[in-house]
Structure formats: C-alpha cells, structure tokens
Amino acid sequence: MSSSAEARPLVAVVMAGGAGTRFWPLSRCCRPKQLLPFAGGRSLLAAAVERLAPLVPPERTLVVTSALVADAVREELAGLPRENVLAEPAGRDTAACVGWVAWRLARSSPGSVMIVVPADHVIPDGAALRSALAAAAATAVARGGLVTVGLRAARPETGFGYLELGEAAGGAGGHEVFAVRRFVEKPDRARAEAFVAAGNFRWNSGMFAWTVAAIEAAIRAHLPDLAAALDAMAADAAALGEAEALARHYPQLPRVSVDFGVMEKASPVWAVTADLSWSDVGSWLGLAELLPEQPAGVTMGDVVALDSERCVLVSDGPLVAALGVRDLVVVATRDAVLVVPSDQVQRVKELVEALRARGRDELL
Amino acid sequence: MSSSAEARPLVAVVMAGGAGTRFWPLSRCCRPKQLLPFAGGRSLLAAAVERLAPLVPPERTLVVTSALVADAVREELAGLPRENVLAEPAGRDTAACVGWVAWRLARSSPGSVMIVVPADHVIPDGAALRSALAAAAATAVARGGLVTVGLRAARPETGFGYLELGEAAGGAGGHEVFAVRRFVEKPDRARAEAFVAAGNFRWNSGMFAWTVAAIEAAIRAHLPDLAAALDAMAADAAALGEAEALARHYPQLPRVSVDFGVMEKASPVWAVTADLSWSDVGSWLGLAELLPEQPAGVTMGDVVALDSERCVLVSDGPLVAALGVRDLVVVATRDAVLVVPSDQVQRVKELVEALRARGRDELL
C-alpha cells in the first residue's frame, strides 16, 4: 500500500483487434470498425489514443491489432512509434492479446502498470475517462489484484455485460472502489431492469488496470495452457526473433476472452466506478448517438434526402439520393451498397456470408 | 390507289430526342433512356433500329437525336452511316423533328414515304411491328393523308393516349384500316375502361407513316409558323450549310408535338390497327415488363438480395446488397445511388431538381 501508480510506469494497451461485419460495407477485412471515421471525421482508434495521451504518452502506448490491418493502423496513428503497433498473426481473443503484452513487458519493463482499453468505444469526455483510468491504475498498485472500470448503469441496457459490486473498498482519485462479487453476461430486459433498480450493479466497460506481475500471475493461475504457450513463445522470441515466435505460437494460443478466462475467476478483482457517457457503436443504428440528427435521421458523407425520416444514410463514395424512405439504412461505398431496414441491421452478417459463399471476397 | 409503298423509297425516322429524368441516376443528360441497356443488354435505340432493318435498311434509316448525345448515338449504332444521325441543337418536340426531316427529304428524295417511330419503346415481336408499319406505309401511299398505328387496347391503361376509330376503310397487308375520329389524351381510369369496353378505341402508339408531300402539306396547313421557319432554315442550309442553318433556326422552332400540332388537326388521318406487345418503359417499375422476375422482383446488374420482394434493384457499378426490403427501387451507379419506394418513383424528378439546385450538375 506504500507505492503509488505515479511511481511506476503506466503503459496503455489499446486492443484494436476486432474485425466484425456489422459495419459492412464501410468496414472491410482491411478496414475494421475502429478505423472508420466515426469520431467526428477521425477514426475511433485515433480518438482512443488521443484521449489517453495526457495520461499515457504515445511512447508508452501500445496498440494490438491484426497483422492484416497493422499497416493501416500505423498510418492512422502517425504520432505513435511504428514498433508500438503490435500485429497479431491471427485473432485469438483478448486473453491472448493481454497475455502477449504482459509477457513482453515482464522482460522489458516488469514494474509497469497496464491500462487496457478497447479501440472502438465512443467516450466524449476524455478527462473523465483519464480520471477513472488513473484511479484504476492507482488501485492496481495500491491493492494488487485485477481492476476493472465499472460504469454507472444509466439505463437497463441488454447489450452490455454487468458487474455486481460487493464490499466497498474505499476510494481512489475521487472514485469509489468496490470488490467485484461477480460478472454477469448480457442480461435480458427484466434482469437488466432489476440490476439498475438494485443499485449495486455497474456496466462492465471492458477497461482494465493491473500490474504486469498481477496479470501474469492470474493467467498462470486460471489459464495455465495460455501461460505455457506464452512462455514458449517468449523463449522462441529470445532465440529466433519475435516474428518467428509469433508465427509459430500465436495462431495456436487458446481463444478466450480476458473477461471469461481471467476476470471472472480471479480474486481479488476491484471495480473502480465512474459515470461516463459511453457507447460502443454496435451497429449502424449506433451512429445516431454520435452524429447530429438531420431531418432524414443520421447522415454521413454525400447524401441528399427528401421527405425521408428515421434513416441512417451513409456515403463513402457515390451520392446517396433518398426519397420518401422511412426506417431504412443505406450505406454506399465505391464498390458496394447496403440497403436494409433499421429493424434488421443485425442481419448484415447474413449478407456478408452470402457474398463469401459467392466468392465475392473483394467486397469483404 | 395504283401505286404501292414498294414502288417508293421507305425512309425510317427514329425519334431519339428524349432526355427526361425518370431513369436517373442511370440516365443522364449524356446517356438518356434510349441508350440504356434495357433491351436484353442492348440499348432500346439499337433494338429499334435493328427491328426495322428487314423493312428499311440502315442507309435509309435516320435517327434524330440531341446534339448532346449524337456522338454516343453514332457509337451505339455502328452499322448506321454517321451522317444518318441527325443532331438537334435543341429539343423542340416532335413536330419540329418530323418537319426538319421532311423538309430535308423534300430536297433529296421527295418521293419518299416516311415511317416514324420512337426510339425508346419495347416491342418484342419485330415481324409483327414491321407488318404493321409496312401496312401503314402502303396506306399512306394508297390513300394519301397521314397514317398512325393504333394498337389493340389490351387493358384500361391510363398512361397512354387513345385513338377513337371512325369508318372502316378496308385493309392493308392483313391489317384493318379505319378513319381516325379523334385523338384522346391520357384518360382517367373510368374513361380508359369505357374506351376498352367500347371496342372502337386503340392505343396511340406514336408510330406514323406518310409521304413527304403529305406531311409537308399538313405542316403548312396546321403549323404555318413552323413551315415558314423550316423554309428559312432550308434556304440557309443551301446557302450556308446545314450546321449554320440549324444553329440559327432550330432553337427557335415552335415547340409542339406532332400529335397535338398536326395529327389532331389534319384530315384525313388513317389508323392501321395492330395487336402488338408494346411497352414504353415509363419508369423504373416498367422494367418489370422487360426482365424475368426474380424472387426479389426485378434485378439488373450486380445485385445480391436476401429476403426481399417486389423490388427493382439495378446496378451499373457497385454491388447492390439488399436485405429484408419490400417494394423498393434501388439504382446504383458509380457516382450516385437512388433509393425510393416503388409507389413514389414518379417523384425522381424532384431529386434531380434538388441536385440541380445544389449545383450537382456532374450527377445530372
């Protein structure tokens, strides 16, 4: 309890591995959601890195992404040292991603405190976020164990996971800290309402803090197969170079999320609580939370709409000219145009699969 | 009654002047409807010329079109002598178009019989069309006066004009011939049903036959201002060349249709009757008459549709990927995408006007 976060180097780890098809045709295998210009013309990823910068400078910010998009990410993040963009040869979910970075830091900077955040969230108030993350890092140092950021459950969302809070554990930097009693997967509406009413539930933000030693110990305890593979990869990296080691081991790492594989099993786990406006822009309809409302709904890019309402109209290429449409999503790019009613946007992956089945890989 | 059409040269006049916005964004000022690939991959115009060819060879087929698209028309009709594509400096409706050609022929081939057809109709049975036009030409020679082709009114269409037939006047080439009692503008539904029930009404096909002498006399009688202007233009053409004469006179010619300005006033006017499958493809919905039905409705070009019905999905560029849509028209080109419910396609011109008002001329 004697050391402080300030005394140990903070390292930010931005997880930018997601591919996904929910933003097709704007998102592609080579341009995933986090690279789309959803943050006022900038990418969500660039916004995430810039938001952290006053707390963690670029030289201590690591971005983990897919090898497929690493060059695009380096281009997007021109202010970041190129070597700070870490390219996964294959996506193996977040436990592998976090473990890889922790094992690397255990060699290069074992006293570090890791702050882990997703690349594709929208958080308008950067100062509030940094305050919460600084408190999480301080808690990770002061109390040991793993720390998550629990956000005020402002409404009964069924699209988020929840944390049930246990005993209060004091505060950090103006934030209340609690022991986490349990993690809850996305609930149905009735349970979500009960969580909000109960008061001791928070949204699981997917943002974490821990010391390198703590996460390494937790992975060794709860994901021993992953730990063994990371040990082998580290040994090969020392002997053969990291590229060769990654190619040998990374695609075989166990595929499990850090929430399910580590957080839900570890103890102690602390929640630093915060009240942040926060969105994960899960589908085209989520754009409505980011962009000012137009008479036709939400529009982005070259769009002309007459007598249209409650639509999402996006162009990254040809003009979208809409007339007399309602509750419709239209997304046009140079080579593909999506047209789907608003209440069926979650089915976009069916279209993507149909294109894959037709061999239209150039559009994916 | 002693001469036959065979004894006098037939000249086909294909009127391809229409611009219009009903097929935006596929149609543009430089690529009007008649140049769109609506005839099984070929343009309606090429199909029209080829349909006539067994009756009138290319060297006696004239195509009148806008100067804006004359080069595109010449390219489309590679089998036609270049000089047979006549370019109007400005669109002045069909009386001016017909008069210009008649005045030209009065100098070069005054004994000709003109067969006049629109460029943008769909007529699957070319032999039946040629039979009707040959009968119309024979009637024009045998009886003098102006001849129109009246099509069996197969249903109470409100989108076509009608002819009311008067006295029977024998036959020609297996077709009944009648005196025309009157021309009727597009009727409302009740009148259209009455016309079909009455039996002595035919659709006004917009296809005509007459001798050069007969149409010249009719224009002099009923459109004297046009006749005087055509006289002046012909005199200037002889003195200064046709290009100079056209530039001086054509944009000032009276703007009136041959139906309204001449046919409705002239006498005698004969109708050669025929029973043809015929469509003028007046809007995107008209494509349904041309193309085989798909589960999603009518599709043309690069289209993938899942769980969609009664749509018109057209691509001339980017893939159109539709999911779960009904009664919707989507037309995608390289630089513009139209999205409009089927029951509002007639409003496309509002979009075109909105683009014009925004200075988006590159899209028009």
> Chain A interface, mutation test: which of B283, B351, B362, most A Cβ atoms within 10 Å?
B351
Please say if the pLDDT value at position A256 is more than 70. yes
Q: Cα dihedral angle (A295, A301, A306, A309), rounded to 10 degrees?
A: -40
Tens of pLDDT along A305-364? 999 999 999 999 999 999 999 999 999 999 999 999 999 998 999 999 999 999 999 998
pLDDT tens figures, B30-39: 788 899 888 8
pLDDT computed for residue A3 by the predictor: 45
Report the alpha-carbon angle B348-B354-B357, nearest 5.
Answer: 145
Distance CA B34, CA B66 (A): 12
Amino acid residing at A92: R
Confidence of residue A141 (pLDDT cuts 50, 70, 90): very high
- pLDDT of B21 reads 79
Q: Are A318 and B341 within 8 A, CB to CB?
A: no
Of B21, B304, B339, B343, which to mutate for an interface test with A (greatest number of A Cβ within 10 Å)? B339
Q: What are phi and psi of B259, to 5 degrees?
A: -65, -55
Q: What is the mean pLDDT of residues A270-296?
A: 86
| pLDDT surpasses 80 at B281 | no
pLDDT 10s digits, A89-119: 999 999 999 999 999 999 999 999 999 999 9
Give the whole-angstrom CA distance, residue A326 versus residue A184: 36
Confidence (pLDDT) at B1: 41
Nearest to A339 among B330, B347, B354 (CB): B330
Give the gap in angstroms from C-alpha A306 to the nearest C-alpha of chain B: 7
What's the pLDDT tens digit per position in B284-341? 888 877 788 899 999 999 999 999 999 999 999 999 999 999 999 999 999 999 999 9
Are residues B29 and B364 in contact, defined by beta-carbon separation less than 8 angstroms? yes
Residue with tokens 């045998």: B142
A317 contacts B347? CB cut-off 8 A? no
pLDDT for residue A280: 77
Contacts of B201 (CB under 8 A, 6+ apart): B153, B162, B163, B164, B165, B184, B195
Residues 25-64 of chain B whose Cβ lies under 8 A from any Cβ of chain A: 25
* For residues B201-228, average pLDDT: 97
Calculate what percentage of chain B has a pLDDT beyond 70: 97
- Chain B residues with CB under 8 Å of A318 CB are 317-318, 332-337
Q: What is the pLDDT of residue A7?
A: 66
pLDDT higher at B4 or B73: B73
pLDDT at residue A290, as a whole number? 76
pLDDT tens digits along B127-179: 999 999 999 999 999 999 999 999 999 889 888 899 999 999 999 999 999 99
Chain B positions in Cβ-Cβ contact with residue A317 (cut-off 8 Å): 318
**Residue B3, pLDDT score:** 45
Contact A76, A13 (CB under 8 A): no
Is residue A292 packed enough to be buried (19+ CB in 10 Å), middle (13-18) or exposed (0-12)?
Answer: exposed
Size of interface A-B (CB pairs under 8 A): 115
For chain B, give the secondary structure using H, E and C: CCCCHHHCCEEEEEEECCCCCCCCCCCECCECHHHCCCECCECHHHHHHHHHCCCCCHHHEEEEEECCCHHHHHHHCCCCCHHHEEEECCCCHHHHHHHHHHHHHHHHCCCCEEEEEECCCECCCHHHHHHHHHHHHHHHHHHCCEEEEEEECCCCCCCCCEEEEEEEEEEECCEEEEEEEEEECCCCHHHHHHHHHHCCEEEEEEEEEEEHHHHHHHHHHHCHHHHHHHHHHHHHHHHHCHHHHHHHHHHHCCCCCHHHHHHCCCCCEEEEEECCCCECCCCHHHHHHCCCCECCEEEECCEEEECCECEEEEECCCEEEEECCECEEEEECCCEEEEEEHHHHHHHHHHHHHHHHCCCHHHC
Angle at the Cα of B230 from the Cα atoms of B225 and B233, rounded to 5 degrees: 130
Give the DSSP H/E element, type plus range, for residue A200: none
Across chain A, what does the average pLDDT equal?
93
**Gyration radius (Cα) of chain B, Å:** 21
B133 Cβ neighbours under 8 A, 6+ residues apart: B52, B55, B115, B117, B149, B207, B209
Q: Residue A361: exposed, middle, or buried by beta-carbon count in 10 A (0-12, 13-18, 19+)?
A: exposed
A324 closest CB neighbour out of B304, B332, B344: B344
What percent of chain A is modeled with pLDDT above 70?
97
Contact B360 A322 (CB under 8 A): no
Residue A4 in this model has a pLDDT that exceeds 80: no
Q: How far is CA B345 from CA A31, A157, B258, in A?
A: 35, 40, 28
Check pLDDT > 50 for residue B2: no
What is the reported pLDDT for B303? 96
| Residues 329-348 (B) with a CB less than 8 A from some CB of A | 330, 332-341, 344, 347-348
So what's the pLDDT on residue B7? 65
Q: What ipTM was assigned to the predicted interfaces of this complex?
A: 0.79
pTM of the model: 0.79
Picking from A318, A338, A358, the nearest residue to B333 by CB comes out as: A318
Give which of B120, B97, B112, B110 is closest to B39, Cα–Cα: B120
Q: Where do we find the tokens 């009654």? A: B1
pLDDT at A234 over 90: yes
The predicted-structure confidence for A291-311, as pLDDT tens digits, reads as follows: 888 999 999 999 999 999 999
Which of chain A's residues have a Cβ under 8 Å away from the Cβ of B347? 306, 323-324
In angstroms, the Cα distances linking B187 to B129, B148, B156, B204, B206 are 25, 19, 9, 12, 16
Q: How far is B340 from chain A (nearest CA, A)?
A: 5
Determine the Cα angle at B112 with ends B110 and B116, to 5°. Answer: 125
Reported as a single tens digit per residue, the pLDDT across A150-207 is 999 988 988 889 999 999 999 999 999 999 999 999 999 999 999 999 999 999 999 9
What domains does chain B contain, in order, with CATH numbers? Answer: 5-274 (3.90.550.10), 284-363 (no CATH)
Q: How far is A355 from chain B (nearest CA, A)?
A: 8
Confidence of residue B6 (pLDDT cuts 50, 70, 90): very low
CB contacts of A353 in chain B (<8 Å) are none
**Nearest-angstrom CA–CA distance, B289 and B286:** 6
Count of residues for chain A?
364
**Contact criterion met (CB < 8 Å) for A323 and B363:** no
**pLDDT above 60: residue A5:** no
Q: Between chains, do B306 and A333 touch, taking CB under 8 Å as contact?
A: no
Res. A136 pLDDT band, cuts 50 70 90: very high
Question: What sign has the CA pseudo-torsion A20, A24, A28, A33?
Answer: negative
Q: What are phi and psi of A338, to 5 degrees?
A: -100, 135
CA of B360: which chain A residue's CA is closest? A319
pLDDT for position B292: 84
Q: CB distance A323–B351 less than 8 Å?
A: yes
CB contact at 8 A, A227 and A97: no
Whether A324 sits inside 8 A of B306 (CB atoms) is no
* Per-residue confidence (pLDDT) for residue A6, from 0 to 100: 47
Query: What is the share, in percent, of chain B residues with pLDDT greater than 90?
Result: 80
Note which residues in 249-278 of chain B have CB less than 8 A from chain A.
none
**CB < 8 Å from B in window 278-317 of A:** 304, 306, 315, 317
